[in-house]
Amino acid sequence: MAAARILPVRNPRTGVPDMEIEVADLAAVRAKAERLREGQKRWGAMPPEERVKVMGRWAQLIATKYRQAIIDADSHDTGYCEISRIAPDMMLGIIGGLCASAPAQLRGALREGVARANPDVRFTSILKPYGLVGIISPWNAPTMLSMLHAIPPLFAGCAVLLKPSEVTPRFTGPLFESVREVPELAAVFDCVFGDGETGQALVEVADYISFTGSVPNGRKVAAACGARMIPYDVELGGKDPLIVMAGADIDRAVSATIRGAISATGQVCFSIERIYVQDTIHDEFVAALVERAKKIELNHPDPMGGHIGPFTGPHQAAIVAAHLEDAVAKGAAIVEGGAPFQIEGGDYMRPTVLTGVTHQMKIMKEETFGPCMPVMKWHTIEEAIALANDTDYGLSAAVIGPDEETAIAVGEQIDAGKVSIQDTFLTFFGSEAKNDSFGYSGLPGLRGDLTRYVRKQALLINSGEPVCLTRQAVSAVDQAIG
């Protein structure tokens, strides 16, 4: 019997591993999957209202007993990112919203009636939840992004097996302590640890896969799901533009830019990564942005102080450094901040403002995932829209104009799933919008829509003579659906 494969987990603040995880191979993943499938039989047969009660009990436990423990573990994972401190509240918001809407959503997917082509044939329908949904979650915002995808299928009646990133697995400790206090939920919700090998195994045993991560890995997941003919959703990042128009409130625009670009050290898929400013206000905007960037403080030595923490891993710091080097080599100027650097083993970076950037530079075309603010001027609004749409991505975007009406008119022309108007980073607040994405940002489906986690089965009942599809009957069917 082969020895278990062990992976070290690095502390982002010290650069030193302080945890180990055992990689789950196909046999281990399959064993957990079989246990969860057995539990799902009872879970899926429950009325939605009963599942709501169970999920409500879990939410109460999180709120009263496990909230701080989840915050602490997620903070350890991320180097004390500010998103860690709101992650349990985001979870509770998702659970609360679905407690209110899940039964109606599922009832609304049911159909019954009489066939228009033959009054002797009536139909009814039932919903059959997918037995096992596999979640492959990313290293950034680990609790929030894992639960964003894990909670809805539980409400739909599925079992869920989560594979967190091997970079940030600590949050699963207190999270699944809370799950184990709710026996009905523990029977259908569990996790496995590992890297790509474990993710591949999960794709092989699940009935539905939800993946959040890079474009190359997302393509692999999509191909593997396609080979098995199972449904999936993938969220694959962004290169989000911000357009700032003349007449905009400069102070407001700068505040929105800073928040949208540096929150969580820029390691958010809907961070602002490209800034297009009308030429008549470009210099004023850049000067104000530089002054505001100078005031940002690192959360070192106090992890609970400051505004910006370390990179979650050195791999991301290296990508950002390479993007800066490429931009400077091609003529850009760094007017504030600079390359990543180390403090006591952690990889940090000051908010960094660049000017003189072009679309020949990686920093304007590839996902950077760091606290960089490259600013490019434009003359006509048509030019600004063309620049914003010159991307392989289309997750979200932002427009700040002289007024809402003008900004909305521009936002409607941007190819992105969500467009923040007169602000940035509003994606957190728009889950009810149920938007899609464009380009390589993936195929996330309609978030919060439980019907994607169930198969809809029709039952057709004939109370008359056996149906014979004569030419007249076929014609009646054509008329009925035509």
Please list the active-site residues.
235, 269
Give the H or E element holding residue 284.
Answer: helix 282-294
Contact 307, 297 (CB under 8 A): yes
Cα gap 366→274, rounded to integer Å: 10
Cα Rg of the chain (Å, integer): 25
Contact 437, 235 (CB under 8 A): yes
291 backbone dihedrals φ, ψ, rounded to 5°? -65, -40
Tell me the DSSP string of 302-338. -TTSSSB---SSHHHHHHHHHHHHHHHHTT-EEEE--
**The tokens of 333 are what?**
């100027």
Exposed / middle / buried, residue 251 (Cβ in 10 Å: 0-12, 13-18, 19+): exposed
Cα gap 374→146, rounded to integer Å: 30
Task: Kindly list the strands in the beta sheet with 232-235, ordered across the sheet, starting from the edge strand earlier in the chain.
Answer: 189-191, 159-163, 132-136, 208-212, 232-235, 442-443
**The tokens of 396 are what?**
């979200």
**The tokens of 412 are what?**
């409607």
Tell me the DSSP string of 399-445. EE-SSHHHHHHHHTTS-SSEEEESSS-GGGG-GGG----EETTEE--
Cα gap 232→199, rounded to integer Å: 14
**The tokens of 112 are what?**
């019954």
**DSSP tally for the chain: helices H, then strands E:** 15, 22
**The tokens of 312 are what?**
């979650």
Placement of tokens 């076929």 in the chain? 474
Placement of tokens 């986690």 in the chain? 453
Cα gap 357→274, rounded to integer Å: 10
DSSP 129: E
Contact 191, 130 (CB under 8 A): no
Contact 367, 273 (CB under 8 A): yes
Cα gap 288→91, rounded to integer Å: 36
Cα gap 242→420, rounded to integer Å: 9
**Secondary structure class of 146 (helix, strand, coil):** helix
